[in-house]
Amino acid sequence: MIIVYCICTVVFLFLLYGLIPTVCIRLFSVGIIKKGTTERKGFFLTFDDGPHAVYTPQLLDLLKSYNVPAAFFIVGERAEREPELLKRMSKEGHTVGIHHQTHSNSWFLTPGKLKREISKCAAVIQHATGKKANFYRPPWGRFNLFSLLLSREYQVIMWSSITGDWKAGQGKAKLAAKLKKGLHSGCIYLLHDNGENPGADDVAPSVMLQALRDFLEYARSQGYIGLPLEELKNTNKRG
């Protein structure tokens, strides 16, 4: 009986600390931005989990060829190995935001550890680019009871369109179709330029890059332009 009680207590505390805050924050848009309005007919591209030594340069080349800015939510420990890529992002007009120092799940981080994950990643960005990070997105979009308090100096960015691009099996055509279907002014796309996380496919970014080229051609034909994240006007006021 004591064992059952202990298990139930642990489960309750886990729900209270991680799952319930995540559901409430995302469902009611408390303190986050997941949609917005723009003055121009445009969309926002965001990329998580990088940088990657192979795929991120290819992505930057593609974005440059279409003159499309993007936001990169980087993993600090990966960025420390590729500082030149962060410098290039900044130099070419992209936004560099905080993911975490490691690709860690906020549900399992104490307040102190979460604070360090954010602050260390912010320091990596500052050191590489000379600019202060202004945007934050937690890995997997997961929050805990203290997330909004500890990230209050940043705008917390979620997404309007998620396509499962971390899986390569769906192929270029299906992924491109999803991107086109989600296109509307103010849409925030979530994509990934690194597939090295658990549950992802290592080669998935190569498929994403092919689909993204197709999507950018389509968006241009429809009169849409890629916009910098700084132009996003928040319709979900911080809680």
Annotated active-site positions, please? 48, 192
CB 188 within 8 A of CB 73: no
- Taken in order 229, 231, 232, 238, the sign of the CA dihedral is positive
- Measured CA to CA in angstroms, residue 187 lies from 53, 94, 96, 191, 228 at distances of 28, 17, 19, 13, 12
Q: What is the DSSP string of 112-135?
A: HHHHHHHHHHHHHHHHHHSS---E
Q: How many CA atoms lie within 13 A of 239 on its CB side?
A: 14
> Would you state the structure tokens that stand for residue 71, as one six-digit string?
């936001």
